[in-house]
Amino acid sequence: MQNNRLLGRERSVLLVLVLIFITCGIYFFVWMYQTTKELTEYTEDYRLNPALALVFTFLTCGFYTLYWWYRINDLMMTAQHETGYQVIADNKWLFILFTIFGISFINVAILQSDLNRLWERAALAEEPEIAEAPFKTDDDEWTDY
C-alpha cells in the first residue's frame, strides 16, 4: 500500500537542544512551528495550526504552550498509531508538568526522539515492495505462431 503522506524531517536531538540554548529559546519557536506543521500534515488533523500556535503563545506570554504540549502529544500518538507503532507513549501530563517547572527542554528531547523514530518507521512503510518474480511465464500473453 503506497501512502502519499508528507513525512517530517529527522533532526538531531542534541543539535535541537544546543540551538535552543544558543539562541536563548528563540529556536524553540522555529522547532515548535516545524513540528506542528509536520505532524498536522502527516496526520491530516488540522485542529492545531502552526502559525496560530505561535501567535497564541506570544499573546498569552507562554501559557498556550501548556495546551500545545497536550495537543502535540495527541497528534504524536495518532501518527504513531497510523504508522503501526507497537509502543504508544502518552506523555501529555509529563510534558505539562515539565513545562510548569520550566524544564520543557526535556519535552523537546523526548518529542524529537519520538519523532525521529516515527519518521524512520514511516519511511520504511512507504518503500515499495519488491516483486518476487519480475517475469512470469505462466501468464505470458505471447503465443508461438
The tens digit of pLDDT for each residue in 104-144 reads 999 999 999 999 999 998 888 777 655 454 555 555 555 55
> What 8-state DSSP symbol labels residue 138?
T
pLDDT band at 84 (very low <50, low <70, confident <90, very high): confident
Closest CA to 53 of 78, 33, 73, 74: 33
C-alpha cell at 88: 504508544
Q: 13: part of which helix (H) or strand (E)?
A: helix 13-22
Q: Are 81 and 88 in contact (CB under 8 A)?
A: yes
Question: What mean pLDDT, rounded, does the chain reach?
Answer: 87
Report the number of secondary-structure helices (H) and strands (E) in the chain.
6, 0
Residues 6+ apart with CB under 8 A from 40: 46, 47, 48, 49, 50, 75
